[in-house]
Structure 1
């Protein structure tokens, strides 16, 4: 990773009911809340239709976050679960990021992958 500056992208595959995002860098609680609000806005078609959906998070350039930021992420994942999130594929080979996401995504079906193609195959495997 060249920079710890936070960055992100979000896309939606309505046909497959998938929310895709890539996130990198080190985030403050406030900046993460802004990103999560944007993510929620993108997920509104699924929430409005009360449709189950899955998520693919590309965290290859993400670093472990402080406790307050991790808690905001956890709250968002649990809210997603309560509103139709069925599976969450995380792309990251960093052991500390995987460990943090295992802890904060407890209660959601989450799997970890080294590459986005593997993650997409898993999301679409059922």
Structure 2
């Protein structure tokens, strides 16, 4: 039995399998990464708005204007509270964790899924290569 490498070309079906596996591996690794760049907010198009849609759009605009006014009032109240706090000289927590809130949880699900997928694909490719080499040694 010779352990020398043969110079015969790959069978067409084998190269097709390799191409399909490569495409699947690339897709499995890229899909979780594309979720980070996805924008789920719909944007209204002016030419596609029906009369009911126009009414809804006007209602939304008025609600947005009302929210903006409420935000301005909150800012003014916060400024008044800040000036009162500085006048009293007493230090209060600034908010967030210092005020007793729980810190936000990091969601690393995408990274975990991508890493696990990559590890499985690498293990599968290694198994495929090892089985192929073992079969080639048996055949001579």
TM-score, normalization by structure 1 = 0.17
Q: Which has the higher helix share?
A: 2
Larger-gyration structure (1/2): 2
- Larger proportion of strand: 1
Q: Name the TM-score, length of structure 2 as normaliser.
A: 0.16
